[in-house]
Amino acid sequence: MDYSIEAWHGPPDECIAWWRTQLPTVSQKRRWAPSEVMLRWFEELAGCPEQADVRYVLALLMVRRRILRLEGSRQTEDNQEVLTLFCPRNDTTYEVMAVIPAEDRLQQIEEQIASLLEGDESESAGTEAARPGSSSGVKKRTAETS
């Protein structure tokens, strides 16, 4: 149940847990790169086995954002889980190895995804994907004039 600050009088006796949070303002909300940019980067990561954990985390993000849909999973002979994901935007099915990042790698992956996919409102209209491993993040397109 949600309560406003004015209506909150403390947790009821039978309450198991409670927490307080504040919704972000419009200026604090994340502005993700367009879905096409995320999908393009996801496809590029398929050719980078050393980035398999990044691709897995990005796939989960895209499932959450409804860019991809989880169709199922299977186990390989060496007991590795493989997710089957479908993209209705391009009518393509993908297989993604479930590579759960090591604890010390999670922060790196979060920063990498954020730097490549987040942008301010002015950038989100004209972004293109940065190549995996690029340190420049999402780049603005600029028109050349003669």
Q: CA 67 to CA 63: how far, in whole Å?
A: 6
20-61: pLDDT as tens digits: 777 666 665 666 778 898 899 999 999 999 999 999 999 999
Beta-carbon contacts of residue 131 (< 8 Å; ≥ 6 apart): 44
Residue 68's identity, in one-letter code, is L
Q: Give the distance, in angstroms, between the CA of residue 145 and the centroid of all CA atoms in the same chain.
A: 35
Residue 145's identity, in one-letter code, is T
Task: Return the percentage of the chain with pLDDT > 90, whole number.
Answer: 44
Q: How confident is the model at residue 107 (pLDDT cuts 50, 70, 90)?
A: confident
